[in-house]
């Protein structure tokens, strides 16, 4: 739901009334459940309790929202609040309030620890988590039964064996591996984690060309793609298309996030989910993804912004938003409420993983460039002429250069 923005920056009316401008991303999959409805209801409820503060929300698609905020900031018309995909660039340029300048102590302390830490730039929290998700392996129960598979995979060997059985029974994509340009950085991180590696080490330095990461992509190239178990060229398969194929019953297994559950149920797919398999058992961690709320200093309404955010992050509001859009709560109080509610039982497996999930290095201003390059390169690395070690080494060198330039 993309609305036309007629003005930006906050303002004060003649009677002392303050209007806060918020640019937000759309989580809905149709006009009827677009995020504008959520924000309008939330804003009206807040204004009823705080008649001297008005909230003006404009919602944009994920395709447009980050660029919209970037252009507004560049033109000197930063919104008071933005709920988008990345915060580090703005924090590095001193444009954001820190979380402790805005939120009450109970509100800030309520953030899930792993998410709060992922929102830090130079050990100060500027990014306030808004929506979160983790990843699990999805499998088609009907296809598994037809292939004689009695239990979901727990290790890479299980994946390869099950994929061979699915292939033998005519499944078009035994394991869907979306390494196309849409979201390759996500699929890559899931596999790196399952192989005991990741994008960075324990102190936040890039380690893209680690021995573990090279081993992981060699296995994907030789034991999955090379044996025809992905059914299509991973470099040409986007996540959206992989999800679509799963909902059409053409995919045996794939890595997915909570939104895929509703998509599969709507198409009558009987599916199951398990923790990501690793080399010799469950992966050391799963991937977590968070979107971010941030507050710009330009408008100067720190107190009003803080009051609104305390309202936004109340347990009731966080739980309602997460439940509406199939996301995970970003606060401890809302997470506990969701875990205690059987209505959300299918999200419980994803939610229990959140505390130990590993996130993109979004606190690095170099990450957008690194992510863009991963999208462009990793799909070809597992192809017939691919060279995983060479690609990962090139990525490491590029990442180090970008990281050093950002210091």
Residues 87, 219: Cα–Cα separation, whole Å: 35
The closest of 308, 306, 302, 334 to 321, measured between CA atoms, is 334
Q: What is the pLDDT along the chain (407 residues), one digit of tens a residue?
A: 333 333 344 455 445 799 999 999 999 877 778 899 999 999 999 999 999 999 999 999 988 999 999 999 999 999 999 999 889 999 999 999 999 999 999 999 999 999 999 999 999 999 999 999 999 999 999 999 999 999 999 999 999 999 999 999 999 999 999 999 888 999 999 999 999 999 999 888 999 999 999 999 999 999 999 999 999 999 999 999 999 999 999 999 999 999 899 899 999 999 999 999 999 999 989 999 999 999 999 999 999 999 999 999 999 999 999 988 889 999 999 999 999 999 999 999 999 999 899 999 988 999 989 999 999 999 999 999 999 999 999 999 999 998 888 76
DSSP state of 261: H
Buried (b) or exposed (e) across 237-252, using 16+ Cβ within 10 A? bbbeebbebbbebbbb
pTM listed for this prediction: 0.88
The closest of 46, 68, 130 to 307, measured between CA atoms, is 46
Residues 192, 189: Cα–Cα separation, whole Å: 5
DSSP string over 52-80: TEEEEEEEE-TTTHHHHHHHHHHTT---S
Domains of the chain: 11-133+289-356 (3.40.190.10), 136-286+364-405 (3.40.190.10)
Compute the residue count for the chain: 407
């Amino acid at each position: 739901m993309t609305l036309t923005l007629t003005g930006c920056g906050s303002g004060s009316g003649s009677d002392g009334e303050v209007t806060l401008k918020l640019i937000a991303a759309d989580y809905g999959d149709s006009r009827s459940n677009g995020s504008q409805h959520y924000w309008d209801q939330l804003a009206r409820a807040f204004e009823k309790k705080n008649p001297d503060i008005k909230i003006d929300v404009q919602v944009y698609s994920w395709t447009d929202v980050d660029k919209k905020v970037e252009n507004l900031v560049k033109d000197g018309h930063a919104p008071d609040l933005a709920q988008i995909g990345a915060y580090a660039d703005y924090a590095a340029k001193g444009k954001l309030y820190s979380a402790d300048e805005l939120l009450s102590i109970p509100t800030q302390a309520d953030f899930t620890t792993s998410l709060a830490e992922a929102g830090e730039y130079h050990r100060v929290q500027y990014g306030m988590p808004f929506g979160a998700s983790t990843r699990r392996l999805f499998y088609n129960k009907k296809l598994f039964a037809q292939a004689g598979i009695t239990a979901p995979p727990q290790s890479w060997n299980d994946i390869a064996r099950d994929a061979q059985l699915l292939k033998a029974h005519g499944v078009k994509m035994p394991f869907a591996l979306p390494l196309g340009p849409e979201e390759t950085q996500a699929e890559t991180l899931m596999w790196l984690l399952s192989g005991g590696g990741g994008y960075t080490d324990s102190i936040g330095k890039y380690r893209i060309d680690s021995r573990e990461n090279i081993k992981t992509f060699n296995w994907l190239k030789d034991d999955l793609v090379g044996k025809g178990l992905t059914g299509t060229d991973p470099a040409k398969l986007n996540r959206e298309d992989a999800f679509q194929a799963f909902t059409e019953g053409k995919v045996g297994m794939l890595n997915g996030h909570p939104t895929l559950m509703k998509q599969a149920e709507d198409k009558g797919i009987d599916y199951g989910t398990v923790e990501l398999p690793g080399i010799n058992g469950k992966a050391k961690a799963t991937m977590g993804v968070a979107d971010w709320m941030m507050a710009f200093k330009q408008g100067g309404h720190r107190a009003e912004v803080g009051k609104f955010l305390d309202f936004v992050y109340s347990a009731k509001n966080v739980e309602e938003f997460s439940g509406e859009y199939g996301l995970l709560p970003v606060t401890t109080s809302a997470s506990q409420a969701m875990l205690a509610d059987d209505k959300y039982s299918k999200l419980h497996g994803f939610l229990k993983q959140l505390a130990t999930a590993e996130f993109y290095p979004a606190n690095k201003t170099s990450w957008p460039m690194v992510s863009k390059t991963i999208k462009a390169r990793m799909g070809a690395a597992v192809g017939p002429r691919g060279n995983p070690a060479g690609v990962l080494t090139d990525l490491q060198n590029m990442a180090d250069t970008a990281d050093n330039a950002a210091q």
